[in-house]
Amino acid sequence: MKKQVLVLGGNFGGLTAAIALKKALHGDVDVTVMSDRDYFLYNPSLIWLPFGLRTRDDITFKVGPTFEAAGVEFVQKAAAKIEPELNRVVDVDGVIHPYDYLVIATGTVNDWDRVPGVKENAGTIVTLADAEDSGRRWREFLNDPGDIVIGATQGASCFGAAYEYLFNVSYQLRKAGIKKQVKLTYVTAEPYLGHFGIDGMPTGEFMVDMFMKKESITGITNMAMEYVSKDAVKLADGRELPFKYAMVVPPFLGIDAVRSCDTISNAAGFVPVRDTYQTKTYDNVYAVGLAAAVQVPWTTPVAVGVPKTGFPTEIQAHVAAANISSQIAGLVPTREKPFAEIPALCVMDAGNNGIMLLGDHMLKPRRAAMLIPGPQNHAIKVGLEKYFLWKSRTGRVNLP
């Protein structure tokens, strides 16, 4: 009888793990993907959507045909409860989905409670709905310009998107002819500019500071936020920053179904994993991508999270798929790739400029790392978008 593999989530981690596993076992396994949405989202391009440079149709595709072509069953349903002791997941309609192996690739939800008022008064760009809402706010701003605050709160981890959006806002202000009328401020929990949630890169602080000065942006580091009102951000040191437009990246939490399963998740709803991406408590349950917990290897005055982007998520998904394949074959899973040792590869867009981050390891110690600035990075970012959407839509997950 074929083994049953259930994958929760259909974006970078879920799609990659499901199709890679199906291909590795030449169809000799039943793989089901369960997700609350029927589309794949290329998250890195959300930085452009509020300015009308992308629409949802540009950066999404329906996953049903992709999974069908790969021989993977797709169920559009949200998980309500994970019961690893019974090897099953219960969906929101009470339907039970049994499994032999489970891959949790569920992503995150925004932790709106960390800083009151962000959702209502600033908005963010980390989900499709968030970015569309920020686009509405941006259009309103253009009719009545004023000061702008862009930030990443205490506990946030998506600093790359915050920087990209900051520099894209500056670029759009210049294109609109109102750059000199607007005071643009960046507030971050990072201990210094260019920390990025990965403890920095060589010349990173200098390079980001140079970009900020060139764009006349005021940077406030090592700062927590108390709340966001309808027209100001209140900082932990008592200062208030008035704004007509604000975008704030919040911290993340694991989804409710994962957070409520305390035998596999921590208090924030993320899943502690071994280097094989098996959970600490169950050999047949895996977690990859945003759902997997990452131990922060440093201490900062204000809490800073570690970014978990699409590139490391794909690597984790391949490791998990390879280990499940080994287990199904009766072997011990031996494939390992600690998160800290995954290569760092990120292109930070700045409108008509940008910075490429390269490193042999995501986290320190690194043997090699560099930042490459220049306008070519915008073209590279666009090229990566087209490539990853094509690769994912056509199920070519084994390509780099």
Q: What is the pLDDT of residues 16-50, one digit of tens each?
A: 999 999 999 987 899 999 999 999 999 999 999 99
Q: Give the pLDDT mean for 78-91.
A: 98
158 in active site: yes
Phi and psi, residue 64, nearest 5°: -55, -55
pLDDT of residue 26: 83
For strand 148-152 and strand 245-249, is the pairing parallel, antiparallel, or unpaired? Answer: parallel
Other CB atoms closer than 10 Å to residue 209's CB: what's the count?
15
Contact 312, 339 (CB under 8 A): yes
Q: How confident is the model at residue 298 (pLDDT cuts 50, 70, 90)?
A: confident
346 in active site: yes
The predicted-structure confidence for 165-201, as pLDDT tens digits, reads as follows 999 999 999 999 999 999 999 999 999 999 999 999 9
pLDDT at 318 over 80: yes
The predicted-structure confidence for 243-296, as pLDDT tens digits, reads as follows 999 999 999 999 999 999 999 999 999 999 999 999 999 999 999 999 999 988
In the numeric block, which tokens belong to residue 189? 């929990």
Selecting among 346, 347, 355, 357, the annotated active-site residue is 346
pTM: predicted TM-score of the whole model, two decimal places? 0.96
* First-to-final CA distance of the chain: 33
Question: Which domains occur in the chain, in start order?
Answer: 4-108+254-339 (3.50.50.100), 118-250 (3.50.50.60)
Contact 349, 172 (CB under 8 A): no
Contact 241, 218 (CB under 8 A): no
pLDDT of residue 31: 98
For strand 148-152 and strand 184-188, is the pairing parallel, antiparallel, or unpaired? Answer: parallel
CA distances to 42, 43, 100, 282, 348 from 86, in Å = 34, 34, 10, 11, 44
Q: Which amino acid is at 356?
A: M
Q: Which amino acid is at 239?
A: R
pLDDT of residue 123: 87
pLDDT of residue 296: 83
**CA–CA distance, 97 with 118 (Å, rounded to integer):** 36
Selecting among 18, 34, 152, 158, the annotated active-site residue is 158
pLDDT at 366 over 90: yes
Contact 72, 9 (CB under 8 A): no
pLDDT over 70 percentage in the chain: 100
pLDDT at 304 over 90: yes
